[in-house]
Amino acid sequence: RAKSAGRDRCAVFDEAMREQAVRILDLEADLRRAINGDGFVAFYQPIVRLSDRSVIGHEALLRWRHERRGLLVPSDFIGLGEDSGLIEEVDWLLYAQVMKQLALGGEGYVSVNVSPRHFRAADFADRLLRMIDEAGADPHRLRIEITEGALLDDVPRALRMLRTLRGHGVLAQLDDFGTGFSALSYLHRFPIECLKIDQSFVAGLVGETRPESVAVVRAIQALAGTLGIHTIGEGVENDAQLAALRELGCAYGQGYLFGHPAEAYSTPLRQAVSR
């Protein structure tokens, strides 16, 4: 009995693995198709000044409108895109949409995410600048979001890249800050506009769950103060987190409390854009 149950379990396991493999292959084929179609769209989430909730910019977030599976978020497919090298192509599609949006006018900046592997491409900065130029977008209204890892695996190259971009008006912000190895001694060398405090720390500011988050955010604020740059709290979901962030000296935030990612710009940028 035990033996046959084991065999059954094994059969079930094999079947599940087969199905997963098929699903991944399916999705990869879909991904290739979507890249050639119009399956990818930019959603925009507001970034606000915490003191008065005024919108200072938006982060562009990738969404995939899948014909059968509905609206997919990056975690549903980004691993796949990275494994197959397709994510860079998807990124360029998204950046092109953002450029068009910027070229329409409006105010505030739009930040786009750059995966570490993509940032490592030798022609990244040149290609981005060319795209901005061709779209007729204002480079001062575009920002890139990169993670610490992307800076540290080739410091001289990252420095060159960021200086080139900044020289043309494109600023950089460090995403998910506090989750990487935070090589603090290096940070002052990079032209970084702001640090985005990872949402895990914002979540841990309130309640008993992660008391060390307060210490982490305090340390990030001290660091930002030393560097003379500002911070953005990510994933702000309630008033208690908002109050805690302000108390700790964080001036900007992003999160469901202020607005979910949405397909169009929220006010006041939408008015400017649809004119």
Residues that bind ligand C2E (CB under 6 A): 45, 61-62, 73-75, 78, 87, 91, 94, 113, 115, 145, 175-176, 199, 234-237, 254-256, 261
Q: Which tokens belong to 22?
A: 């098929």
Query: Which does residue 148 touch among Mg ion, ligand C2E, none (CB within 5 to 8 A, set by kind)?
Result: none
CB of 11 to ligand C2E, least distance (A): 35
Question: Which is closer to ligand C2E, CB of 145 or CB of 148?
Answer: 145
> Which residue type does 251 have?
A
CB of 75 to ligand C2E, least distance (A): 6
Query: Which does residue 223 touch among ligand C2E, Mg ion, none (CB within 5 to 8 A, set by kind)?
Result: none
Query: Which does residue 73 touch among ligand C2E, Mg ion, none (CB within 5 to 8 A, set by kind)?
Result: ligand C2E
- Interface residue list for Mg ion (CB under 5 A): 113, 145, 175-176, 234
Q: CA 65, CA 121: separation in Å to the nearest integer?
A: 27
Query: Which does residue 115 touch among Mg ion, ligand C2E, none (CB within 5 to 8 A, set by kind)?
Result: ligand C2E
Question: Which is closer to ligand C2E, CB of 74 or CB of 149?
Answer: 74
Question: Which is closer to ligand C2E, CB of 6 or CB of 83?
Answer: 83
Around Cβ 269, how many Cβ atoms within 10 Å? 22
CB of 68 to Mg ion, least distance (A): 28
Question: Which is closer to ligand C2E, CB of 14 or CB of 120?
Answer: 120
Query: Which does residue 171 touch among ligand C2E, Mg ion, none (CB within 5 to 8 A, set by kind)?
Result: none
Question: Do residues 201 and 222 touch, judged by C-beta distance below 8 A?
Answer: no
Question: Which is closer to ligand C2E, CB of 86 or CB of 224?
Answer: 86
CB of 118 to ligand C2E, least distance (A): 6
CB of 13 to ligand C2E, least distance (A): 30
Query: Which does residue 116 touch among Mg ion, ligand C2E, none (CB within 5 to 8 A, set by kind)?
Result: none
Question: Which is closer to ligand C2E, CB of 127 or CB of 189?
Answer: 127
Q: Which tokens belong to 122?
A: 């030798």
